[in-house]
Amino acid sequence: MTAFFIRRIFQMILVVLVSAVATYALLNLAPGGPLAGLRQQQQSARFQITEEDIARIRAYFELDLFLPYRFTRWLIGVPTGPVVIGGNEYFSDLVVGCRKPIESDILNAETGNYEIVITGCKEDVFMKDLVGRRSSRGILLGDFGLSWRILRDRPVSDLLLSRLSKTLQLIGLSTLLSLLIGVPLGVYSAVRQYSRFDYIFTSLAFMGSAMPTFFFGLLMIILFSLVPKEAGWPYVPSGLSESVRDYTIPIIGAVEAGSFKDRSLHILLPTAVLTIVNISFYSRFVRASMLEVMRQDYVRTARAKGLGERVVILKHALRNALIPFITIVVFTLPGLFSGALITESIFAWPGMGRLYLLALGDFDYPVAMAIFFILAILTVIATLMRDFLYTIADPRIRLS
């Protein structure tokens, strides 16, 4: 058992490192990036951008360093300068990057287009130049660096924290609700298999799981926000997590911007979308697993020895049926963080998911990488937790 977890923890570290390298490579190996628009500006007559400006901007984004150095600086915050051992500086003349690359237009024989190719370097960056450069302590030590675009020069962690509570509210509420509603629905539907309730419920759940979230979200906005508003009925505000100015809703009355009432009205629709989607997912799973358990010998034994139906279902069947369900619930943990990307984007909910989309669309790589990295860690933790909870829920399972 202990050996298993030690081995798993080593695996976890490996997985996290691999995913860090992979995301970093993905975002940084590709050409373009934050300097994409700069070249066009360089050619325009009004804003002359000199070579020196470009070098400065490249240094700002650390694009002047070679990829391995950039990566280790991002991951663990080294190198920050020459290695000092006993007063002597080592590696201070090591070339770690290129400040001003020589770019030449080369005719590509195949496509017939001119391509910009880096052919050499006018000015190298040496290890000693890194002294005094600002640097993060490394993402592994909890420093996510500075944001490039969304909140320029502010720590990424500030940005994440400001969005975290919104996502937690939304996902926490909807997960709680969908568990509270979905599990009993699934159980009831399984117990009353082939009844009218079961039939209607399974068809609804089937449709719910086939419904794309983005379309469902838009439908909800149309049905509960736009149409009633036009008709002068009470409506639910859609978009953002609170409104900017006060407004009045028929019957409900005046709502002050930023008040509790305002915020609860705004959270209503996104929560409903996430909850309904989750319910159809959870309850289908619980129903299937319940049906399987109900066929087992021990359930028949429990009935045979005269236990009440209630006890049989809740104690003997449900507890066993919920074991595979643990897997699904535990994996809401990373889901909590990535924050139902689509739902947040439809409802303009200022949470993590929207931040992630914004960061990817806006070339704010430190933010995107931080979110993905945290996501990878959470996923790995969820995997470990699943294995651990399995052994607690079902002592028959031995880990080895």
Partner 1 sequence: MSAAQVASLSPEAVTIEERSPFQIVMTRFRRHRLAMVSLVVMTVIFIITILAPVIAPFEVQELSVNKYFVEWGTVDEETQRVHYLGTDQIGRDYFSRLIYAGRISLTIAIVSVIISELVGIIVGAVSGFFGGWIDSVLMRFVEFMLTIPLLPLLLIISSMLLRNEELIPIPEPVLNFMGNLLLLTPRDARNAVLIILILAGFGWLNAAQLMRGMVLSLREQTFVEASRSLGASNYRIIMRDMIPNAMAPIIVDGSLGLAGFVVLEAALAFLGFGIQDPIPTWGNMLAASQEFMLDRPWLPLVPGLPIFLCSLAFNYIGDGLRDALDPRLKL
Interface residue list for partner 1 (CB under 8 A): 15, 18-19, 23, 26-27, 30-32, 36, 206-207, 209-215, 218-219, 221-222, 226-227, 230, 288, 334-335, 338, 341-342, 345-346, 356-357, 360-361, 368, 371-372, 375-376, 379-380, 382-383
Minimum CB distance to partner 1 smaller for 124 or for 362: 362
> 150-172 as b/e, with b when 16 or more CB fall inside 10 Å?
beeeebbbebbeebbebbebbbe
CA distance linking residue 14 with residue 105, whole number of Å: 42
86's CB contacts (< 8 A; 6+ apart) are none
Minimum CB distance to partner 1 smaller for 51 or for 103: 103
Closest distance to partner 1 from the beta carbon of 205 (Å): 11
Closest distance to partner 1 from the beta carbon of 239 (Å): 10
Does residue 112 come out as left (phi exceeding 0), alpha (psi in the -120 to 50 range) or beta? left
CA distance linking residue 71 with residue 369, whole number of Å: 12
Closest distance to partner 1 from the beta carbon of 386 (Å): 10
Closest distance to partner 1 from the beta carbon of 378 (Å): 9
CA distance linking residue 116 with residue 98, whole number of Å: 16
Minimum CB distance to partner 1 smaller for 69 or for 235: 235
Closest distance to partner 1 from the beta carbon of 29 (Å): 9
**107: DSSP letter:** E
**Residue 378 has which token pair?**
């959470």
Closest distance to partner 1 from the beta carbon of 11 (Å): 9
Minimum CB distance to partner 1 smaller for 127 or for 343: 343
CA distance linking residue 91 with residue 39, whole number of Å: 34
Minimum CB distance to partner 1 smaller for 55 or for 330: 330
Minimum CB distance to partner 1 smaller for 82 or for 270: 270
Closest distance to partner 1 from the beta carbon of 206 (Å): 7
231's CB contacts (< 8 A; 6+ apart) are none
Query: In this structure, are residues 370 and 27 in contact, taking their beta carbons and an 8 Å threshold?
Result: no
Whether cis (ω within 30° of 0) applies to the bond prior to 350 is no
Minimum CB distance to partner 1 smaller for 15 or for 173: 15
Coil vs helix vs strand at 255: strand
Q: Exposed, middle or buried: residue 203 (CB in 10 Å: 0-12, 13-18, 19+)?
A: exposed
Minimum CB distance to partner 1 smaller for 293 or for 312: 293
Which one, of 286, 84, 76, lies nearest residue 179 by Cα? Answer: 286
**Residue 114 has which token pair?**
């001119």
Kindly report the backbone phi and psi dihedral angles of residue 348, in degrees, each rounded to the nearest multiple of 5, phi listed first.
50, 40
Minimum CB distance to partner 1 smaller for 99 or for 345: 345
**Side-chain-facing half-sphere of 292: CA atoms under 13 Å:** 12
Closest distance to partner 1 from the beta carbon of 381 (Å): 11
Minimum CB distance to partner 1 smaller for 181 or for 374: 374
Minimum CB distance to partner 1 smaller for 205 or for 317: 205
Closest distance to partner 1 from the beta carbon of 3 (Å): 18
Closest distance to partner 1 from the beta carbon of 172 (Å): 18
Closest distance to partner 1 from the beta carbon of 212 (Å): 5
CA distance linking residue 300 with residue 298, whole number of Å: 5
CA distance linking residue 312 with residue 225, whole number of Å: 45
What would you measure as the largest C-alpha separation in the chain, in angstroms? 91
CA distance linking residue 129 with residue 152, whole number of Å: 24
Coil vs helix vs strand at 348: coil
